[in-house]
Structure 1
Amino acid sequence: MAAYLQWRRFVFFDRELVKEPPGTDGGGAGAGKPFALPPGITVCDSGRGSLVFGDILARGQIWFLPRSLQLSSFQAYKLRVTHLYQLKQHNILASVGEDEEGINPLVKVWNLEKRDGGNPLCTRIFPAIPGNKPTVVTCLTVHENLNFMAIGFADGSVVLTKGDITRDRHSKTQILHEGNYPVTGLAFRQSGKITHLFVVTTENIQSYMLSVKDYPRLELDTHGCGLRCSTLSDPSQDLQFIVAGNECVYLYQPDERGPCFAFEGQKLIVHWYRGYLIIVSKDRKSSPKSEFAGSDPQNSDKQILNVYDLCNKFIAYSSVFDDVVDVLAEWGSLYVLTRDGKIHVLQEKDTQTKLEASHLLNMCFMASDL
């Protein structure tokens, strides 16, 4: 069982609002005003020097925001974008969206280094559907080796694409997993030559070994999590799959459950960043929502963002935000997008400042014990 520990709290990050760059209004007067994204952005990712956004308000645009804050976009779908996955080692973007109402959503793979009439080159399009039964796409992930793509669905299915995911004729698509509960998270784990896929639903957690014929499956637990409440750690935490329930956060290896931590509160968003676990939770004073639904775009709430150091058992930062859309990492910082289109940057303090702050806190604890 997880122990409820009193973790020490630090302020190891500085928070600022991203501002308009000089000259955005033609004369420099715009500098200092809060930067704001277009309305309707609900899906985000980052990598390759940009923050990437998609809108769901029947415009179908994908937006790129580089460090210069010179926002650009292109028409990816005729209606809306629902999912994005930007690879970190390749300038490849995968998306899910809709071109027509009532028609199955489409997966599109974009080569951002090549152009087609001024837009990124779309190298592949295929329907996002398990078999012949239409259902809602819930999550999308792509392996960095470009040989695997996994799509999760609300009916409990997972579709796996194996082979060159950027080309139709060099890949094979099949139903990897079928179940009775919505798929809420997917993550590839590579260890040497062994590839695993973690699959979490609202009710269970499983791992598939993709390096072996027939893809053997192992059930890791009989509870799951909501949408966007799972992530994969980096090597500092041994590439463990992290699943955040409302009472505890659980860590998993492909063949067993690891440690767990008692962090209360309804989790809405979970990310891993440079050895830190980022959790956005619903304010306890707010009314509860469906665990599967995640954060409701129609319900504006104050939410708490905590940055946890699991190895050293302390909270590196904590702050309240209004209606978080997502948390992204790029250019060595964290970026928090809120529903009003504003972007907040969390910049980690330098090592010397953190050492001084921790020393001061330790002195305070020692004085209180006297």
Structure 2
Amino acid sequence: MLRQIALAKPLAASAMKMAPRAMSTATTLPQVHDVPSSKLGGRYTVTLIPGDGIGQETASAVKTIFKAANVPVDWEQFDVSGYTTADDTTFKQSVESLRRNKVGLKGILYTPVSSTGHSSFNVTIRKDLDMYASLVLCKNIPGYPTRHKGVDFAIIRENTEGEYSGLEHQSYPGVVESLKVITRTKSERIARFAFDFALRNGRKKVTCIHKANIMKLADGLFLNTCREVSKEYASSGIKFDDMIVDNASMQLVSKPQQFDVMVMPNLYGNIVSNVGAGLVGGPGIVPGCNIGREYAMFEPGCRHVGKDIQGRNTANPSAMILSSVMMLRHLGLDDHANKIANAIAKTIEAGSARTPDLGGESTTTDFTFAVISNL
């Protein structure tokens, strides 16, 4: 249920004593900092980067719902855009805000495809603040039938290296070399994150996704490191297996129920998260977050700006709202998180306000006010 798609606050001793997953109302994050955000007078200050495309519309939905629910969060908003690169002052200010506040909510920023364009702001933020773990949750929504039932898996991707290392050069005109970097240290770090996540949330299996049959050194190192870490968790009953990424793609669209927790390098995670979103209803409903030792940034799990529907008031804000629910749990505001998550679940299950991506004709505004009516 959507009530489960919400992350809990930093780990406490009691976090290990969770209800069975089917009854759980939250997902617990491993390895996060103890002071999640600036807090003054019982209120939290959070950095808000709406993003490009439909970002302003979905961020507005979050702010409207938070106000209606009396959520004690104050926003530091920065209207960063990947379309305008002449002045990156706003982008730098947003990163400094994240450093201060420790927690942010973010839409997706556009990254140009051309070779002369700037590097991805999305990747830069994650790398600069070492938010090394990306978590995307893919789960069926009650009231919205899809081809597959019983889909419920978590995608964990390493955020800071792999093909996203950004090390490219033209060694000779017409010859470009792009370096894929895999290190044992970061492979071990993300593997431990995946197993800790499974352990704290009643998950039973971790699957490493790789291409070690071809990239024997790079992906071989990632796979072997995951295997070594898995041995430390064998006594906890968590099973471990691995799957080549092309086979995993086929298995996802034919039998997704076999997956529980998936851990993988950066590029594979980007692709697999899009496949996962397609299985359960599309990019408008899949939440996500990026976590490091000091900082946490919450953003839709399927990273599309939605420029084609920008300004039409037809975007589904669920992914952004559910990402904000994950953020509330991270801040320890569980009551507010439960209230909003339940309202979204009721809204979608009732079917009275469905945006076009879910087969309806409701606007973003209609959906937002339907959620508020269900608070």
TM-score by length of 2: 0.29
More helix by share: 2
Q: Higher Cα Rg: structure 1 or 2? A: 1
Comparing both structures, which one devotes a greater share of its residues to strand?
1
Relative contact order higher in (CA < 8 Å, ≥ 6 apart): 2
Q: TM-score, normalised by structure 1?
A: 0.29
